[in-house]
Structure 1
Amino acid sequence: MGLMFRKRKKYGPLVLNFTENGFSSWTVRLGRWSWNSKARAHRVDLPGPLSWKQDKSRSRA
């Protein structure tokens, strides 16, 4: 398994995610809640190492 390049740029509540191929996705983060454009998932950070994630339903065409 090789090394992977990842970088994040933060602009207030907006986070831009980059990989070795360039721009990957963007995330909006407000407090403990966040939403990612690539995963289309809501995530809430819970106390300790826990988090809750709700994926957008992928069963729709």
Structure 2
Amino acid sequence: MGVMLRKRKKFGPLILHFTQNGFSSWSIKIGRWSWNSRAKAHRVDLPGPLHWKQDKSGT
């Protein structure tokens, strides 16, 4: 398996994600809540190593 190159650029609450092929997706993070354009999923960070995620299908 090869090595994957990933990079993030943060501009305040906006995060741009890049891979070795170029631009991948963008995210917005406000406090403990975040949303990703590729996964179209909401995520809330919970205390400790836990998080809650709701994907685009609502499950």
TM-score norm. by structure 2 comes to 0.95
The residue type paired with residue 47 of structure 1 is P
What corresponds to 1:10 in structure 2? 10
- Distance of 1:49 and 1:57 partners within structure 2: 24
SS at match of 1:48: coil
Structure 1 residue ranges, 4+ long, deviating more than 3 angstroms after superposition: none
What corresponds to 2:56 in structure 1? 56
What corresponds to 1:28 in structure 2? 28
Which segments of 5 or more consecutive residues in structure 1 lack a partner in the other structure?
Answer: none
Which segments of 5 or more consecutive residues in structure 2 lack a partner in the other structure?
Answer: none
Give % identity: 76
The residue type paired with residue 44 of structure 1 is V
Following TM superposition, by how much is the alpha carbon of 1:34 offset from its aligned partner in structure 2, in angstroms?
Answer: 0.1
